[in-house]
Structures are given as structure tokens and as C-alpha cells.
């Protein structure tokens, strides 16, 4: 749970400790699922770290069938994700990228439209499309959310969520 420190909620500490993160349902397996991954090439070093998290998360649940595509930047993620989801060839899509605030309003445009587009892709297709795109103030925040094994990695969390949602959709629609 987040705590109050000097009148300011300390969400960063809660996120770093994992207190606010959802747990993986017991017995969840991704065996037999095909998961798509759409990754941005912009901020490649951070996105590579997120991709390693995706790989860890999917492997931990037994997913072996993964199809990956890259796009120039996070703004392009929604179209690729929607196209992949609509293709009927995947059970879920994981989107990873990193939008780091700069000196202009470009950050707001890219991060907002990426989030909106990813949500719209899953609503339009009925295929889970998970948002593993970092929208952060600086590189230090991006690094804190793309850690290695045992640390906080939004890509890994999105991969676990993709499997959970794919299984839910499968159970509800069959």
C-alpha cells in the first residue's frame, strides 16, 4: 500500500517494493497459446530490457509460440497491435515501448495516443492487447521499471497479464 511522506503519496516506493502489483493466479499456464509482441525501436536500450521481461514472463508460464514485430516508435504500436490482433493468428498481444518526457508536448501526444490506441485495439478486436509501454519522466524511472530477473519489469507484467486475459477470453467464449 502506498504511504504518506511529508504530505506526498510515495507511490514510487510502493511500486519498487511490489506492494501494488497484481499477483499471478495460481496454476496459470500459457501452454498452447500463441502470443504476439509489438515493440518500438525508439529508446531501444530500455525496450530491450522490457523485451527480456516479456520473454521471462512468457517462459515462466510455458508459452513457446511467440511472434514478434517491431515498429519505429510507440505512436505506431496501436496500428500494428490491432492488425496483429485482428489477424486471428494470436491469442493476445503484448505492446512494449518507452516514452520519456522531453522539453516539448510531444510526450503527451505520443503517450496518450499510444495508450488510447492500444485500448481501442483490444476493444475493437476482442483480443487482449496489453500495455507494457513505459510513460515516464526520465531515464532513471524507465530503468526502475525495466529491471532484470526478480525486479520490477513492466514488460514481464504485461506478458503475464496477456496470458491471464487470453485464458479468460478463451474460457468465456468457448
Indicate the domain borders of the chain.
Answer: 31-173
Q: What pLDDT sits at residue 83? A: 98
Q: Clarify whether 106 is annotated catalytic.
A: yes
Instruction: Give the residue with greater pLDDT, 90 vs 19.
Output: 90
How many angstroms separate the CA atoms of 94 and 71, rounded?
A: 13
Helix 44-60 × helix 154-173 angle, to 10° = 50
Confidence tier at 18 by pLDDT (50, 70, 90): low
Average pLDDT of the residues in 117-121: 98
For residues 38-44, give the mean pLDDT. 98
pLDDT attached to residue 14: 40
Query: In the structure grid, which three cell numbers stand for residue 3, read together?
Result: 504511504
Q: Which of 2, 25, 72, 106 is catalytic?
A: 106
- 21 pLDDT above the threshold of 80: no
Q: How confident is the model at residue 75 (pLDDT cuts 50, 70, 90)?
A: very high
- pLDDT, position 8: 32
More confident call, 8 vs 90: 90
- In contact, 159 and 94? CB cutoff 8 Å: yes
Average predicted confidence (pLDDT) for the chain: 90
Domain 31-173 CATH superfamily: Lumazine/riboflavin synthase (3.40.50.960)
pLDDT at 12 over 90: no
Burial class (CB in 10 A: 0-12, 13-18, 19+), 34: middle
Q: What is the arithmetic mean of pLDDT over 13-28?
A: 68
Across 2-30, average pLDDT: 58
Contacting residues for 73 by C-beta, under 8 A, at least 6 apart: 40, 41, 42, 97, 110
More confident residue, 155 or 17: 155
In this predicted structure, what is the pLDDT of residue 149? 96
The answer to whether 87 and 121 have CB atoms below 8 angstroms apart is: no
Closest by CA to 69, choosing from 33, 97, 31, 88, is: 97
Mean pLDDT confidence for 140-155: 97
Q: Are strands 129-136 and 92-100 parallel, antiparallel or unpaired?
A: parallel
- pLDDT given for residue 19 in this prediction: 61
Q: Span 75-80, mean pLDDT?
A: 98
- Please give the sequence-ordered ranges of beta strands (E in DSSP) within 15-143, or none if there are none: 34-40, 65-71, 92-100, 129-136
SS3 135: strand
Query: What is the number of helices (H) and of strands (E) in the chain?
Result: 6, 6
124 Cα distance to chain centroid? 18
Amino acid at each position: 500500500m502506498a504511504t504518506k511522506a511529508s504530505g506526498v503519496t510515495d507511490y514510487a516506493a510502493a511500486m519498487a517494493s511490489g506492494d501494488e502489483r497484481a499477483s499471478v493466479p495460481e496454476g496459470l499456464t500459457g501452454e498452447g497459446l500463441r502470443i504476439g509482441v509489438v515493440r518500438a525501436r525508439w529508446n531501444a536500450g530500455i525496450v530491450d530490457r522490457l523485451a527480456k521481461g516479456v520473454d521471462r514472463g512468457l517462459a515462466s508460464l510455458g508459452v513457446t509460440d511467440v511472434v514478434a514485430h517491431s515498429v519505429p516508435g510507440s505512436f505506431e504500436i496501436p496500428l500494428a497491435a490491432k492488425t496483429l490482433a485482428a489477424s486471428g493468428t494470436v491469442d493476445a498481444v503484448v505492446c512494449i515501448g518507452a516514452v520519456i518526457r522531453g522539453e516539448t508536448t510531444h510526450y503527451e501526444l505520443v503517450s496518450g495516443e499510444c495508450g488510447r490506441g492500444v485500448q481501442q485495439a483490444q476493444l475493437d478486436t476482442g483480443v487482449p492487447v496489453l500495455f507494457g509501454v513505459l510513460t515516464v519522466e526520465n531515464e532513471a524511472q524507465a530503468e526502475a521499471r525495466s529491471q532484470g530477473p526478480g525486479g520490477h519489469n513492466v514488460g514481464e507484467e504485461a506478458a503475464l497479464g496477456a496470458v491471464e486475459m487470453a485464458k479468460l477470453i478463451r474460457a468465456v467464449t468457448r
